[in-house]
């Protein structure tokens, strides 16, 4: 389960945001026409593919937070003296792998976040505030027009103070200068040593905020009250050259309702889709996103306005970064729990492969190998069809301890539904059993096929 994100604000004007996005896309086109060099989208994905081959990352999307997080959100005033810490300390911390630590235990879904460090997509700030003998430093901010990532560190300057679990926390409010977007956030803190810890805050903001400022009003660190507030500038300058925006304006009608795909935005780490519906506040809407290879995009949150729906997804898969088209599948009406039967499959897991598990609705999942690596245990499997591409797998070791997957499975073949799924690091040969939980349709139940919109994508156009 993903940890619930906390709401920040509400009620954006999505139509207005579409106009801003169109103007932003137009500015990129004008730069291209003026022959200003812009890094091709393909180059970014090629660099990512090389990194992915060296260390298989977990991908995707969008109900993505297992880390327990709590954020207190109100309007704030900025306060506190802003200082800059020593170059030596800042240089050391600038090399600290924030994203690696954030994603280490699977508490936060990958969804492309590792590319922030791999591709240098964050803006280094290194802005510090000292109060009550505690230094807070905002090290880096990432913004791609879809999500915001704040990376920061905290140091207790009294070296006699040995920090404990309750000291590793930052209490803050968020406010955007000149904007009140609907937004949700989560965070994670990681202890470094007896005197310091790092943190990352991730924010989904459903309004285009390029050029705005984010106020982070920090009123307490650990058990100590004070003021460590900072101002964070938001800019898409690092990601806009590798961002592609499509305005398909394709409409489909189902059950007396019309849905129009108004905009699809692809950034180096996100995919966002904007849908206009004919029904006022149609919140009971279920839809999926697939590419031309039938690979599902992982979901990572969304927002429903009066007549607008915005959904965030993972970026395209590494093996298919520029799909010829994507499909939006509306499940209408949504499937009800009483139409399904829960079933569990079990099989011994040792060095004898393949291991075949009976999948959903007559399909199958075939485990072909397990690799024990320093970065984790990598399980490779082949699904018989698209409906079985994301199974729920649990591994059991010789001590009867269960191990759950970290993040989303990553597709590794264009021709077959071959995937790799990451688990915690385990001792070689320690696994004894694999469990798979499936939900089949009840006998006699005939599901209604989803209503599908196919959106062609021409990546050759600037």
Please indicate whether the domains covering 6-241 and 242-336+448-456 agree at the CATH topology level: yes
Q: How would residue 29 be classed by pLDDT, with cut points 50, 70 and 90?
A: very low
Q: Residue 386 is encoded by which pair of tokens?
A: 């698209």
First to last CA, the chain: 39
Give yes or no for a contact between 419 and 381, defined as CB atoms under 8 angstroms apart.
yes
User: At residue 243, does pLDDT exceed 70?
Assistant: yes
State mean pLDDT over 42-62.
36
* DSSP string over 343-378: EEEEEE-SS---EEEE-GGG-EEEEEEEEEETTEEE
| CA 233 – CA 212 distance, rounded (Å) | 6
pLDDT digits (tens, 9 = 90+) for 313-343: 999 999 999 999 999 999 866 677 788 889 9
| CA 42 – CA 48 distance, rounded (Å) | 10
What CA dihedral angle connects 179, 181, 186 and 187, to 10 degrees? Answer: -10
| CA 311 – CA 313 distance, rounded (Å) | 7
Q: Percent of the chain beyond pLDDT 70?
A: 74
User: At residue 10, does pLDDT exceed 60?
Assistant: no
User: At residue 277, does pLDDT exceed 60?
Assistant: yes
pLDDT digits (tens, 9 = 90+) for 58-115: 333 233 333 333 332 222 222 333 333 444 444 444 455 554 555 455 444 445 677 8
Q: What are phi and psi of 310, to 5 degrees?
A: -120, 130
Q: Which CATH class is domain 242-336+448-456?
A: mainly beta
State mean pLDDT over 253-275.
92
Q: Residue 445 has what pLDDT?
A: 87
Q: What are phi and psi of 182, to 5 degrees?
A: -70, 130
Q: Residue 36 has what pLDDT?
A: 39
Q: Residue 111 has what pLDDT?
A: 56
Q: pLDDT averaged over the chain?
A: 80
| CA 243 – CA 265 distance, rounded (Å) | 7
Q: Residue 205 is encoded by which pair of tokens?
A: 């903001």
Q: Residue 448 has what pLDDT?
A: 85
State mean pLDDT over 258-282.
91
Q: Residue 158 is encoded by which pair of tokens?
A: 């009294």
Q: Residue 11 has what pLDDT?
A: 40
User: At residue 12, does pLDDT exceed 50?
Assistant: no
What's the whole-model pTM score?
Answer: 0.75
Place of tokens 């999942």: 365
Give yes or no for a contact between 35 and 76, defined as CB atoms under 8 angstroms apart.
no
Q: What are phi and psi of 388, to 5 degrees?
A: -110, 15
State mean pLDDT over 397-419.
94
| CA 344 – CA 359 distance, rounded (Å) | 10
State mean pLDDT over 48-66.
35
Maximum mean pLDDT: which of 214-223, 283-292, 342-351: 214-223
Which position has the higher pLDDT, 362 or 87?
362
| CA 219 – CA 64 distance, rounded (Å) | 28
- Residue spans of the domains in the chain: they are 6-241, 242-336+448-456, 338-441
| CA 366 – CA 416 distance, rounded (Å) | 12
Architecture of domain 6-241: Sandwich (2.60)
Q: Residue 427 has what pLDDT?
A: 93
For the ranges 177-191, 257-271, 330-344, the lowest mean pLDDT is seen at 330-344
Q: Residue 369 has what pLDDT?
A: 96
pLDDT digits (tens, 9 = 90+) for 131-162: 999 999 999 999 999 999 999 999 999 999 99
């Amino acid at each position: 389960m993903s940890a619930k994100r906390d709401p920040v604000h509400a009620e954006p004007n999505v139509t207005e945001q579409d106009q801003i996005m169109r103007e932003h896309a137009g500015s990129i086109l004008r730069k291209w026409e003026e022959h200003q060099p812009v890094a091709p989208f393909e180059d970014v994905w090629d660099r990512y593919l090389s990194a992915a081959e060296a260390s298989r990352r977990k991908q995707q999307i969008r109900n993505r937070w297992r880390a327990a997080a709590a954020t207190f959100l109100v309007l704030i005033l900025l306060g506190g003296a802003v200082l800059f810490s020593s170059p030596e300390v800042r240089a050391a911390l600038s090399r600290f792998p924030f994203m690696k630590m954030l994603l280490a235990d699977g508490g936060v879904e990958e969804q492309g976040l590792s590319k922030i460090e791999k591709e240098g997509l964050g803006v280094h700030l290194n802005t510090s505030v000292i109060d009550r003998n505690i230094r807070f430093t905002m090290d880096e901010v990432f913004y791609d027009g879809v999500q915001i990532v704040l990376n920061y560190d905290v140091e207790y300057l009294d070296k006699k103070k040995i920090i404990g679990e309750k000291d590793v926390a930052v209490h803050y409010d968020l406010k955007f200068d000149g904007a009140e977007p609907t937004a949700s956030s989560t965070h994670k803190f990681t202890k470094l040593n007896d005197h310091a810890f790092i943190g990352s805050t991730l924010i989904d903001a459903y309004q285009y905020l390029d050029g705005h400022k984010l106020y982070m009003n920090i009123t307490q660190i650990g058990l100590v009250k004070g003021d460590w507030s900072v101002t964070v500038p938001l800019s898409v300058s690092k990601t806009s050259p590798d961002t592609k925006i499509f305005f398909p304006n394709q409409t489909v009608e189902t059950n007396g309702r019309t849905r129009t795909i108004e905009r699809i935005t692809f950034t180096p780490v996100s995919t966002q889709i904007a849908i206009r519906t004919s029904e006022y506040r149609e919140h009971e809407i279920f839809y999926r996103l697939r590419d031309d290879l039938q690979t599902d995009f992982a979901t990572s949150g969304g927002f429903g306005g009066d007549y607008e729906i915005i959904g965030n997804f993972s970026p395209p898969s590494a093996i298919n970064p520029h799909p010829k088209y994507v499909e939006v599948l509306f499940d209408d009406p949504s499937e009800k729990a009483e139409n399904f039967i829960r079933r569990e499959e079990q099989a011994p897991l040792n060095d004898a492969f393949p291991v075949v598990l009976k999948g959903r609705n007559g399909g199958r999942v075939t485990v072909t190998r397990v690799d024990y690596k320093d970065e984790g245990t990598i399980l490779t499997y082949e699904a018989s069809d698209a409906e079985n591409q994301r199974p729920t797998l649990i591994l059991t070791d010789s001590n009867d301890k269960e191990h759950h997957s970290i993040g989303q499975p990553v597709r590794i073949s264009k021709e077959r539904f071959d995937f790799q799924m990451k688990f915690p690091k385990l001792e070689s040969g320690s696994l004894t059993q694999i469990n798979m939980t499936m939900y089949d349709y009840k006998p006699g139940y005939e599901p209604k096929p989803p209503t599908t919109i196919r959106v062609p994508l021409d990546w050759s156009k600037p």
